[in-house]
Amino acid sequence: MKQKTRPQLMGIAVLLVLLFMLSPAFPAAAAGGVGKKAENPETWPAGLRLLSGPNGGQWYFLGDAIAEAFTKHLLPTVSRIGGGVANIASVGGKTADVGFTLNCFLGASASGEEEYKSIKLENTAVLADIYPQVMYFLVRKDFADAHGIKDLDGLVALKAPVNFASLHPGTASEFLLSMILKYGYGTDVEKLGSENGWNVVYGNYAEIADDIADGALDCFAYSAGVDVPLIHAIEGTTDVLILPMRKEVLSTLAGKFKTVVHVIEAGQYKNVSDPVETLGDYTCLITRADLPDDLVYGMANALWEDRAVITRTVADYGRLDQKTAVPDGLATHPGALRFWKELAEKD
């Protein structure tokens, strides 16, 4: 039997794709209702590009689940790795259509601080606030006990070698860490290295968790949701503490960047026997402001209609609520605003 050439195979592949797109089963052409066919589908893009977060984190896994929901209800959607700050530039620059970020990044852009003027919000709008975001300073208990560390103040003041890790620059975790150190403690990772003897490294969730467990790292600072599987996994092999932050520091950051105080309740994690106050924020999805209103309305609908399925991927997604989906003081896309308003009125 004669083997087909590469051009022949490519031609067959293109034909199959075209037949699929023209079929009634293709998501963008399905009939009827919100999240199905729009009145003016010619104004829609051919597909959606979603940016999640670093490999192994909650945004990473949510990205795939939400992409499936958008594909099911709307348009073919692909999810790829991103970062909280970088996603804003990508969505605004039209190299992505949807992305995860934090409310505080949007607040930082409006804070007037010179270093945050590079965060451009042009052509970006909120699709939904999804769930509360929490800053964790996770320290090995043996290290904390050896140095008498009970809170973040004690850690920052420590002038001794500290093997300290966060996620890569451009991520939400690294941004929040820098913000906390500068505006809460008047320092940064470079000074902690040169003046206090710290060794600061950046990595991804999985490798840092392994290094905490085997003693190669003393502290891991990162931002995640309210109920973090990674922390439960670390606690299965290693005794750790979550360090509280001082009220005055939390108040300063709230006034400047619109963050909030989050209380980790006793029993939330094995190591938390008393409530722990730390920095709180919201994970949100932003989208291109120039996307059609009916498409973005459908995107919000898909987030809501498939919430049970998506929550099975990341439990924190179950905190999505029409009463908190629209943030105060931040631009929300008109299509999303209409959906969340209509949903709230049905309650």
On whether both 189 and 268 belong to a single domain, the answer is yes
Q: Which residue, of 237, 255, 281, is where some domain finishes?
A: 281
- Positive or negative, the CA dihedral 323, 328, 332, 338 is positive
Give pLDDT, residue 115: 87
On whether both 177 and 188 belong to a single domain, the answer is yes
On whether both 276 and 294 belong to a single domain, the answer is no
Does residue 34 lie in a domain region? no
What CATH number is given to the structural domain containing 222? 3.40.190.10
pLDDT truncated to tens, each residue of the chain (347 aa)? Answer: 444 444 444 444 434 333 333 333 333 333 334 444 444 577 899 999 999 998 888 899 999 999 999 999 999 999 999 988 899 999 999 999 999 999 988 888 878 888 888 888 999 999 999 999 899 999 999 999 999 999 999 999 999 999 999 998 878 888 899 999 999 999 999 999 999 999 999 998 888 989 998 999 999 999 888 988 889 999 999 999 999 999 999 999 988 888 889 999 999 999 999 999 999 999 999 999 999 999 999 999 999 999 999 999 999 999 999 999 998 878 999 999 999 999 999 87
Does residue 18 lie in a domain region? no
Tokens of 152: 């973040």
Does residue 108 lie in a domain region? yes
Does residue 217 lie in a domain region? yes
**125, 331 contact by CB (below 8 A):** yes
On whether both 115 and 50 belong to a single domain, the answer is yes
What is residue 206's three-state secondary structure?
helix
Tokens of 332: 């929300």
Does residue 175 lie in a domain region? yes
The identity of residue 279, as a single letter, is L
Give pLDDT, residue 34: 44
Q: Which residue, of 281, 302, 337, is where some domain finishes?
A: 281
Does residue 15 lie in a domain region? no
Q: 315 vs 58, 280, 312, 319, 347, CA distance in Å?
A: 9, 18, 6, 8, 23
Query: Token match 């009827």: residue?
Result: 32
Give pLDDT, residue 244: 98
On whether both 168 and 84 belong to a single domain, the answer is no
On whether both 271 and 286 belong to a single domain, the answer is no
Q: Which residue, of 264, 281, 298, is where some domain finishes?
A: 281
DSSP state of 3: P
Give pLDDT, residue 40: 52
On whether both 215 and 323 belong to a single domain, the answer is no
pTM to 2 decimal places: 0.72
What is the total count of domains within the chain? 2
On whether both 147 and 266 belong to a single domain, the answer is yes
Tokens of 338: 């209409």
Pairing of strands 77-80, 163-167: unpaired
Between CA 259 and CA 323 the distance in angstroms is: 18
Q: Which domain holds residue 51?
A: 46-132+282-346
Does residue 26 lie in a domain region? no
How many CB atoms are closer than 10 A to CB 106?
Answer: 22
On whether both 303 and 275 belong to a single domain, the answer is no
> Left (φ > 0), alpha (ψ -120 to 50) or beta: where does 32 sit?
left
Does residue 6 lie in a domain region? no
On whether both 165 and 267 belong to a single domain, the answer is yes
On whether both 175 and 268 belong to a single domain, the answer is yes
Query: Token match 């939330």: residue?
Result: 268
On whether both 156 and 265 belong to a single domain, the answer is yes
